[in-house]
Amino acid sequence: RRPSNRGSKGVMDFGELTVAQLKDKCAELKIPKTGKKAELVSRVKLASTTKPKRGRPRSQTPKKSSSKKQPKNAGSSKKAAPTSRSKSPAPRSSSRKAPRARSTPRKPSSTKKKSSSSHSTAKPPYAYIFEPSPSSGGILTESGAQNIANHKYVAGGNTSFDNFMNPYWNSWVEFLPLWMAPNLVTTSGGLFCLMSFAVTWYVNANFEPYSTPYFVLMINGFCTWAYYTLDCMDGKQARRTGTSSPLGQLFDHGCDCVCNLAHLSTVMAVLNLGPTPLAIAGQVILQFSFFTAQWQEYHTGALPHKFGELGVTEVNHFTAAFSFVFGLLEGAGFLDTGEFFNSVAFGNMKINEMFIWGWIVMNAVLLTISVGKTLKAAGVECLKHLATPFLASVLGMFLVSTSPDVLTSNLRPIMLSLGFFFCLITNKMIVFSMAKMTFAAFQVDVLPLLAMVVLVPKMDGEQIALALKVLTGWQAIRLIYWCRNTIIQLCEKLDINCFTIKEKGD
């Protein structure tokens, strides 16, 4: 793929290329293709910026028998610029004639102004607790906001099902009015997830067996499909209206992070699993895996959308069909979902438990693949950023295992408090990846969750319920406050509106 982002002098920007693309470029230029991404970009940039001008012959080594006159500046202290195919040019012998001098000396590559890139190869410095704070207030530093303004999104590729669905999404986006902002399309999809989560919570807060009506399952399936369809149309609406911006990526992926809670609620309502630690384990592995995908983009510059032919499109459509079809079967009297999923399938393991374990294993495999690719590109130091989500996962599982009553009476508050925390650090990772800002290894927002785990054994049932509600409210406020301030700062930097299309004269 030829990068479209070029600097002011027409210099190709190699920072947005993946490691595989950089290695291909190294092979093309016949230079070493080993090392980390920063070394590859530096090597390719040096080789490319020192190419001779078009129309001039490439002189690798001047001929000894050349009858051409030696240039005037041959004896000067300045060395001739190396060609793009030379690995490390050796000093020329004084007995050899130097190549013909250019009429205008080429400026050293180090003096060229760097072009903006989608993902800088220079890694931000590591911070263990405290991140650099903006001098002017807000969330982003001035350089971070500028990096987001220059950011170019690098997608992870399409699956066969993506290619099959694309013509439908392209045709359906034509029904959207041109005044509708892309972020408003994303928000509309998120409202479907909110409706699904709220309806399921109202009729069956703890996912008790035999308690979710069939029409709720069908509503959840439709809402999941509507959410993802609009999620795939928002970018097309942005290109259609000419309003593409880096804020769209933040809004899109941030909304996806929050909607994971609704997807989990949809699946749990079908499985009739009940308030068990296995339900929390399914949520923790899902949100940890989603965080890891954003962490991979932070270090490599490319967000993974798929592994082979399994991607987010397949997972979302399966979730929608899973809920809608089982609701339809139960409504038609062909199947009782509660009885079916709570029946024993193998040994003492029920069907719903087998399903959750399969879900956990699948996400663990995807998470492992993502970690392996990131380690290969960024080194062992990148693992520091996984410390806080790992700690939160352990704390969540420890919280629900302290007492059976804690989970039985407070499943939804526990899910929401954990979910809002993961949404906060994931959205932060998304923004800091685009801004090339330092993400601290230890996120202090995990401290309230840690305090809750310490205090629960000393509380009675009513105190635990109250403390969990306070914790959930605090995590929700932190998430809303952080996202709101970030969006306001980006809208001011990009000179755009969040939910409306700004007219040229505004």
Give the H/E segment covering residue 345. Answer: strand 344-346
How big is the CA angle at 505 (ends 504 and 506), to the nearest 5 degrees? Answer: 95
Token couple for 411: 């499943």
Angle (CA) 146 237 195, round 5°: 100
| 487, containing H or E segment | helix 461-494
Annotated catalytic residues are 253
The answer to whether the CB of 450 falls within 8 A of the CB of 427 is no
Helices 411-435 and 447-455 pack at an angle, to 10 degrees, of 160
Evaluate the CA torsion angle 16, 19, 21, 24 in order and state its sign.
positive
What's the Cα-to-Cα distance from 108 to each of 49, 113, 500, rounded to whole Å? 9, 11, 46
Task: Report the C-alpha gap between 486 and 481 in whole angstroms.
Answer: 9
Q: Which residues contact 462 (CB under 8 A, 6 or more apart)?
A: none
Q: How far apart are the first and last CA of the chain?
A: 37
Distance CA 371, CA 86 (A): 35
3-state secondary structure of 123: coil
Name the burial class of residue 414, with classes exposed (0-12), middle (13-18) and buried (19+) by CB atoms within 10 angstroms of its CB.
buried
Task: Spell out the per-residue pLDDT of the chain, length 506, in tens.
Answer: 444 444 444 446 677 777 777 777 887 777 777 777 777 877 877 777 654 444 444 444 444 444 444 444 444 434 444 444 444 444 444 444 444 444 444 444 333 333 333 444 455 666 777 777 776 667 888 888 899 888 877 666 788 898 999 999 999 999 999 999 999 999 999 999 999 999 999 998 888 887 889 999 999 999 999 999 999 999 999 999 988 888 888 888 889 989 999 999 999 999 988 888 999 999 999 999 999 999 998 998 888 877 778 888 999 999 999 999 999 999 998 988 888 998 887 778 899 999 999 999 999 998 999 999 999 988 898 999 999 999 999 999 998 887 777 888 888 899 999 999 999 999 999 999 889 989 998 999 999 999 999 998 888 888 999 999 999 999 999 999 999 999 999 999 998 999 988 876 65
Q: What whole-number distance in Å separates Cα of residue 441 and Cα of residue 370?
A: 18
